[in-house]
Every structure is written in structure tokens, then in C-alpha cells.
Structure 1
Amino acid sequence: MKTNSVEFGKKLKAIRTEKGFSIRQTALQAGTSNPYISQVENGKRNIPKPETLKKLAKGLRISKEEMFKLAGLEVSKPTNIEYIGSNFVNIPVIGEIACGEPITAEENISDYVPIPANVVKNGNYFILNCVGNSMEPTIANGSQVVIREQPDAENGQIAAILLEDENTATLKRIKKTKTGVILMPDNPEYEPIILNEDKRGRILGIVKMEMKRF
């Protein structure tokens, strides 16, 4: 079915609003500008070309197939590929973390993984690849964890913490004291990390789900 630019823009805005994304956040995730997203939503731009549609799909965390369908484009479906339906959401996998950038900025994203929509509702989410066995047996080396973005965590929760001096994210269990925060490994062979003036860090979010690789 042919779609015009006004209808397409309304559909994009509805998806963005439903996911709770701002125009700025969508633009950052898509690698475009705020004015461009606004113009597309208001029907002031022609329906984008396929390459730009792929960027918009990343910005809204939906599959490119769903985006092409919104734009009225037919996509051939090879029989050996399972496509993401409306019950799944593409969640970004964070590779290297760029200093000073939001965790889900395009510069940080290495891939996307489809996750059931009911798992990742009520918030923004990202995925981290687990390297090392400091959280074993709770979280296995080589697995992936789904993180819900939030700036704080409760005692005992496993969180993703950005170690600012190393510019890397680590998974540890939170232990709050009167003087600060201690990052506790579940593996007793590893030493806790004490956050202080010399070792700064900030919480990126809490672990909601582990996905083991086979």
C-alpha cells in the first residue's frame, strides 16, 4: 500500500511517543539531526530512501523490515531468515564506550538484538557483552545481559557501572556504606572495587536479564 509523507510521519511520531523517546534521543540513536526527525514527523520531508530508513529504524529501535513496511515498501523475505514481529524490540548492544557520550549514542552501538517487548517495557534498555568471570556463578563469562538505564541501584542489585578512569563498564553487585559505594564481585576470587575520589564511577543501569550464548 502506498504511503504518503504525512501518514509516514504520523506513524513515526506515534512509535517514538509510545517508546518514550525524545526527538533528541531518537536523532542521536539514528545518527541524524533533531530538525530532520521533526520535519519527517511533520510530513515536511519526502519518505526517506532505504539507507535513511535503516537509520530511523535504529533510532526507534525497531527492525528495518517494520520500518520499510511503514514506508509502504515491499521487502522480499528469504525463507531462511526469521523476522522480528511486533512483539519484539531491537535493543542496542554496547561495544566500546565513547567518553562523554550517552551510553546508547550511535558511536557506542556495535549491534542490535531482538528482545521480547514485554521484557523491555517501562524504560530504556541496552545490552552488554560479559567479559570475565568476576560475577560467576551468577553471570557467566561470554553471556549477554539486558540493562535498564537508571542512575542508581539498591543494595544487592547487580548494576552496570562506568569506571571513569578506565572508560569501561563493569558488572558488580552494589553495596552502599555510609562513606560511599563498594562494587562487589560474586566470585570470591576477585577483590571488591571501592569507589572514591581516586576511583570514580557512575551507575548506568541495573541487570534485568541474562542471555547465555551456546
Structure 2
Amino acid sequence: MKPSAKDFGGYLKMLRQRCGMTVRELEDKSGVSHSYLTQMENGRRGVPSPDILKKLFEPLNTSYDDLMAAAGYLEPRVDNVYSELKNDSSMFLDMKGQYNVANKTLDLLQRNNESLLEDEVVQIPIYGEIKAGYNMIAEQNIIGYKVASKKEVSDGEYFYLIVKGDSMIDEGIREGYKVLVKRQSFVENGKIGVVIVNGDEATLKRVFYDGSNVILQASNKEIPPRVLSIGDVMIQGQVRSVVFDV
């Protein structure tokens, strides 16, 4: 999950002050406007785009990957940005906890640093609309990529699917959210699967088995369960986690 605008703004301000620069000086060196920088530091702008970060990392005497991690685009690397924050933790703590990102960082450092260092990220494809007729998922449906922890997806092939409709709304899974799906042709009993029925586009349902039948249970009180023959259902995969952008 991306950090809040306030958290990232505090981190940016710390880097600037550590370099002994004013906002105007950072503007001159980066080409990013004074007003934009001020709004970011005050938490009144969202987390900046990667293009803005490319302009800032050299003047702030840090690396592009470190800024991308702090902004939530990449998994954080303990040996880079987080070890820097540990060294400068007194600066954060003297500011009465204004920069929550520092506290979160130090907690991560104290909890199993070795496993974090070994953790890597991989690019996972994002699929928009998936319809029957394909042999599971197809490259034609890829609309982008999103990073995921290599450990999280080490047991198989994964993809992200953008949720459409409100069939799982009672579990907080809303349209536009992304679900991380393990590609497989079956779903464990009672788990959420990506399912295609009668040529419709992929939908999310809890899958239950009853002899030779499958029960597809929505998490929406207005949608009744469906009982179908196993042969009438195409399983695209099993949902492992739900992702939403803030």
C-alpha cells in the first residue's frame, strides 16, 4: 500500500533539510516548482509520479529506487532507504512523531531484517476482461503490470484481475479493486475463485462443492447462489489477496 501524502511529504522534507536546502533551492536544482514542493511537504498533494521522482532524487542526494520505495511504487529495500532512516531517526523523533513513516520504518528494521533483505519483487500481469474460450488467461487481455513480493508468488503463476461488478461487495471487494489470483483450474472448497459461466466475463464467487455440482456463492444479499454442474464452470484461478489504491 502506498504511504499517505502526509507521510511521504514528511520524508521528502527530511531529505531536503538533511541536504541543507530551502524549497527554492530544491526548485532550482530539480525543476519542480516551489508551490508543488511546498504542497507535497505539507501533505496537500498526492504521492508524486515516478517522473517527478526522477527529477528529485539527485538533488536530494538519494537514489531513484529509494524514492520509488518511499512512494510505494517498489518494495522497500532495508539496505538503502530504511537504513538511511535509521541513521536519521533522531531527526524524525525530535519532530514529535510528525513523520509516521520513520516509526513504521524502524519497526520493519527491528522485525526480521534478514527476511526483508532477501525479499524481491516481480512484475505480475494485470488482466482487464477475461472471457470464456481462452485456455485459462491469454496475453491479449494484459493491460499492465504491478509488482508483488517474490515470496508471495513463489508457489505458482499469478496474475492480477480488476474487479468488475458488485458480487462480493459485502466482503468489501468493490469494483475497480485488484485481486491477486493464483492461476489454477480448481478452487479450494469455500475459497474465492475467478469463475466463468456460460461465456460471461470472469466474476468472483465463493466456490463450494456438492457431489458433481458446484455452488457459486456471491457476497451480496441481492444475488442468490447458483448451483451448476462442474462441467459448466470454468475456473481461472483462486484469489489470494485483494488490493486497492489510495
Q: TM-score range by the shorter chain?
A: 0.5 to 0.7
- Whether the 8 Å contact between 1:158 and 1:206 is mirrored in structure 2 is yes
Deviations 1:130-185 (A, max 9, x none): 1222112324212110000111112111111122422x111000111124101101
Alignment counterpart, residue 229 of structure 2, candidates 188, 192, 196: 196
Between the aligned partners of 2:183 and 2:136, the Cα distance in structure 1 is 9
Residue 137 of structure 1: SS of its match in structure 2? helix
Between the aligned partners of 1:178 and 1:98, the Cα distance in structure 2 is 26
The question of whether the paired residues in 1 share the 8 Å contact of 2:178 and 2:244 is answered with yes
Report the alpha carbon displacement of residue 98 of structure 1 after superposing the two structures with TM.
Answer: 5.7
Name segments (4+ residues, structure 1) moved above 4 Å: 83-86
Contact 1:134–1:190 (8 Å) recurs in 2: yes
Q: Structure 2 stretches of 5 or more lacking a match?
A: 1-52, 57-63, 76-118
Q: Which moved more, 1:108-117 or 1:129-138?
A: 129-138
Read off the aligned partner of 1:152 and give its amino acid letter: F
**Residues 84-106 of structure 1, C-alpha deviation per residue, up to 9 Å, x if partnerless?**
57811111111233653344432
Structure 2: distance between partners of 1:190 and 1:164: 17
1:88 pairs with one of 103, 112, 121: 121
Corresponding residue number in structure 2 for 1:145: 179
The residue number in structure 1 matching 2:203 is 170
CA distance in 2, matches of 1:178, 1:152: 15
Letter of the 1:202 partner, please give it.
M
For residues 127 and 157 of structure 1, what CA distance do their matches in structure 2 show?
17
Amino acid at match of 2:199: D
2:156 and 2:177 map into 1 onto residues whose CA distance is 22
Report if aligned partners of 2:123, 2:146 keep a CA contact under 8 Å in 1.
Answer: yes
Aligned residues: 136
Other-structure match for 1:159: 193
The structure number with the bigger radius of gyration is 2
Select which of 78, 99, 108 maps to 2:54.
78
Q: CA deviation at 1:212?
A: 1.7
Q: TM-score, normalised by structure 2?
A: 0.49
